[in-house]
Amino acid sequence: MRVLAIDDQQLVLLPLEKRLTALGYDVKIETDALKSFELFNEFKPDLVIVDINMPGISGLEIVKYIRHTKDSDTPIMVLSGNTQDLIITNGFDLGIDDYMKKPLSLNEICARVKRLIGTPELQGKTERCDVMIQQRCVGVVIPCYNEEERLLSKEFTNYIDKNSGYHLCFVNDGSKDQTLKVLKDLQKGREDFITVYDCEQNGGKAEAVRLGMLHMAKKEDLDYIGFLDADLSTDLADFDDLVKTIEHSEFKIVSGSRISRMGANITKESARKIISLSINFIIRKILSMDFKDTQCGAKIFHKDVIKIAFSEKFVTQWIFDVEIFKRMTIHFGLKEAKSMLCEQPLKRWIHADGSKLSMKDSFKIIGQLGQIAWVYRRKKSKNKIAVSSTMKVA
């Protein structure tokens, strides 16, 4: 029994292919809607599973081709995140046999496949799986420097094994220990879901994140891209809550906030508390925004603002988050930038050993904030001059 699955996002197709193959079906997948016409003719599938929203050609055009051009009664299942009544009714009018809305479990998809075309005769025993096919695909950049002892490998692999639509990009930032080997072992057998980006020299967290974000932006099947600390001080489940917020809103950046936890961590050290509050006050003044915690290492971005936020090198290595928000303000203007940014409290956040900044580092941050204020004030002035010159020419 042959199944053809068509979706422009490979991260959706791969777990579907694996599961149906395990059940005994002969499966082919295609991410290019144009190529799917020829593949349909060559493969002669017993079932077609197709997405609706694809670049260039809609899934409904594929349905039209099968039903009208080829005059075929091959069963067709639509697997899509589109919930518009008109689209769904048009699909059934064209002759689809089933419509499934993402997200949904692989178990349900396979049950519907069996209902339409039956079960392969040579099917072996297979366990139920709890993998969910998601509506969106997400890239996560994880900077790593000498993380051999701290990297929680199983937590990363267990998460992507159970949650389709995630692609992890570990950036080895010139580590001097065995971090690169650990990352390569982590990637083995999961090359479609884990990328290892290797920097020969340590360039600091800011540059590692920047290079990783730009690298992931080249992947066409990703809707959102974010970054996360390798020590999982913010866990992946909490990060997924940030993804859900950006997915169901008009925000371009959703930033995790540890503010509900910070008081408990710093009240015992009054000097550190004063410095922390002072830093936050300076940041709010620089940004002209009421952000409580810009420095949390968990943020998710809509793909169309990646170049704006990461195309240029950052001025600082530690507080590049402030620079990201400042770049958004310069590009879009303060009012519009504010409407694009969301700060969301995290449910869980921990200090990993060795991750806490020293008092000396705190004073360095204050100096770097002054540097940011100076550099971006000049950038803003240059931008105003360029805009003014353009208007005069016009």
**pLDDT tens digit sequence for 227-257:** 999 888 888 989 999 999 999 999 999 999 8
Q: Are 370 and 227 in the same domain?
A: yes
> Which residue, chain included where needed, has tokens 């072992």?
185
How far the first Cα of the chain sits from its last, in Å, is: 64
Determine, yes or no, domain membership for 376. yes
- Domain coverage including residue 255: 136-381
pLDDT tens for residues 69-116?
999 999 999 998 888 889 899 999 999 999 999 888 999 999 999 999
Q: Nearest 5 degrees, angle CA 179-CA 181-CA 183? A: 70
Output 378-381 pairs: Cβ under 8 A, ≥24 positions apart: 379/330, 380/330
**Phi, psi of 48, rounded to the nearest 5 degrees:** -115, 130
Q: Are 83 and 188 in the same domain?
A: no
Determine, yes or no, domain membership for 249. yes
pLDDT tens for residues 247-293?
999 999 999 987 654 444 444 456 666 777 787 888 888 888 888 77
Q: Are 69 and 106 in the same domain?
A: yes
Q: Are 288 and 169 in the same domain?
A: yes
End residue of a domain, out of 117, 146, 166: 117
Determine, yes or no, domain membership for 317. yes
In this prediction, residue 297 carries a pLDDT of 82
Determine, yes or no, domain membership for 127. no
Count of the separate structural domains present in the chain: 2
Determine, yes or no, domain membership for 392. no
Q: Quote the CA–CA distance of 357 and 360 in Å, as a whole number.
A: 8
What is the arithmetic mean of pLDDT over 359-376? 82
In this prediction, residue 2 carries a pLDDT of 96
Determine, yes or no, domain membership for 393. no
End residue of a domain, out of 117, 144, 163: 117
- More confident site: 358 or 239: 239
Q: Are 44 and 165 in the same domain?
A: no
Determine, yes or no, domain membership for 391. no
Q: Which CATH number does the domain housing residue 153 bear?
A: 3.90.550.10
Q: Which two tokens stand for residue 173?
A: 């930032």
